[in-house]
Amino acid sequence: MSGFKSLFKQTFIYGLATVLPRMLSFLLVPLYTTKGVLSSVGEYGKVSIIFSWFVIFNVILSYGMETAFFRFFNKEDDQEKVVGTSAISLIVSSLGFFALAFLFKTQISALTDIKQEYISLVIWILLLDALVIIPFAWLRAKGKSMRFALLKIASVAVNLGLNIFFLIYLKKWAENSAFFESVYIPNFEINYIFISNLVASAVTLVLMLSFYFKIQYRFDNALFKKMMRYAMPVLIAGIAFSVNETFDRILLDYLLPEDIADTKIGMYSACYKIAVFMTLFATAYRLGIEPYFFSHAKSENPQKNYALILEFFVAFGSVMLLSIVVFADVLKPYIVRSEEYWEAMWIVPLILIANLCLGIYHNLSVWYKVTDRTKFGAYISVFGALITLALNFWLIPIMEYRGSAIATLVAYTSMMVASYYYGQKYYPIPYDLKKMGLYLLVSSAFSVISFYAFRENYIVGISLLLGFVLMVAMLEKNRILQIIKSK
């Protein structure tokens, strides 16, 4: 059990590295949804659509190299060769993308229906973000979690600060100062949002430049081919995953009537953010355990530890799910400031359950990563993406954004089930399926009852929550005590 104490410490640090920056950026949601900051709910919808494209292209530009880096950094004797090969690969591909994107930005603008001025900013941001992929992966591989955390926090702090300056203070100061009046541009809010992002990305790259001065630029073609064979299924899985995660906004824009599309997307995207707590928990957990999975793959009976790791994740995640659902209406005024967005609160329990299932899927994915069967990750993610696309095309014309929420839940649940099935076939892990199933089903059922049948009835909601927490505590108390007592 001492290994778990170390794992949880590492997860906590990576949690800080991930949760704190995202909590800082999370403050942008109440900023954007405050009346008067953006001209309308539809403006936030436009921003959400652009960020959806961001997610897709970030995956394409990393093309699975980060995951391949972790795998071969732990696998190869010559780690410097792995660092040099992956760094050179990302530099060349990023600069190539940059050149092509600028060359064809007019066509990209026409295809995506996004203004060219936004496209230019987005291209620069994507380049800068791609160039820090391997430096950040190197920090994680070297166990430099505190530096990783500080750099992530610094980046988002710059982004947050500039957003506040541009969207709130610049306009106010322009009314009383000739200098700021000359700088301020009316109706330029979306540009300001992406300029803030661009400056933050540039600052991050500058802070990480020392990495590029200290590594050995050795490109091994044979190693590169092996890394790409490993990475390609990860890329396909990543693209499919980004379709699951963000393509619903793009489809809402495409399938809804033009006069309401941006507004509905703005509502949906804002209320979707209330589920960010589950996403942060799952991401922090994944960042902490991913190096652990690879480093312990050759230890004696790693499957037993993998099973316990997932059990703890499901237990903690289920408690978090029900807690957020019970208090969703207490949280909403602090996260989504304007009542104009609250119509979409209906989606919150479904998105929370979906993200818990996604977190379980990521934990289950250990089997294909440590056995080098990454093609199964691609198969499963493509399977989920097809479900997402099919259900969105079917349900959006009938149910608008509610259809997208249902599609997300069905897709992530299907991916979770498929990964478990194939994992038990190729790399059996002794998961306690009855206990984990109990946690997931009871917390989901209590969430649905609390929100849809007894919404804002806190006597019922808190009673359900306390009863569930007591059940989990009784079932897990022995293992928790073992971890606490271990050295």
Tokens of 412: 């992530």
Q: In sequence order, what are the beta bridge partners of 38?
A: 35
Residue position matching structure tokens 């792995």: 82
Asked if residue 261 lies in contact with residue 249, where contact means CB atoms within 8 angstroms, the answer is no
Q: In sequence order, what are the beta bridge partners of 35?
A: 38
pLDDT of residue 2: 47
Nearest to 165 by CA among 337, 20, 31: 31
H helix or E strand, kind and range, residue 269: helix 258-272
Question: pTM of this prediction?
Answer: 0.83
CA dist 322 and 315 (Å) reads 11
Decide: helix, strand or coil at residue 38.
Answer: strand
Tokens of 316: 């903690």
| pLDDT tens-digit map of 199-248 | 999 999 999 998 888 888 888 888 888 888 888 888 888 888 888 888 89
CA dist 398 and 374 (Å) reads 36
Parts of the chain with a pLDDT under 70: 1-25, 76-77, 286-301, 479-487
Asked if residue 59 lies in contact with residue 238, where contact means CB atoms within 8 angstroms, the answer is yes
| pLDDT tens-digit map of 99-144 | 999 899 889 888 888 888 899 999 999 999 999 988 988 887 777 7
Q: How many CB atoms lie within 10 A of CB 407?
A: 27
Supply the DSSP string of 184-214, one letter for each residue.
Answer: --TT-HHHHHHHHHHHHHHHHHHHHHHHHHH
| CA distances in angstroms from 400 to 150, 254, 262, 373, listed in the order given | 40, 11, 12, 37
Q: How many CB atoms lie within 10 A of CB 214?
A: 9
Q: How many CB atoms lie within 10 A of CB 206?
A: 10
Query: What does pLDDT average to over the chain?
Result: 85
| pLDDT tens-digit map of 319-352 | 999 999 999 999 888 888 888 999 999 999 999 9
Tokens of 114: 């996004």
Tokens of 61: 């530009």
Contacts 24+ apart (CB under 8 A), 461-465: 461/325, 461/326, 461/327, 462/326, 464/322, 464/326, 465/322, 465/323, 465/326
pLDDT of residue 13: 59
End-to-end CA distance of the chain: 8
In this structure, is the dihedral angle defined by the CA atoms of residues 427, 431, 437 and 439, taken in order, positive or negative? negative
CA dist 314 and 312 (Å) reads 6
Please provide residue 320's backbone torsions phi and psi, each rounded to the nearest 5 degrees.
-65, -45
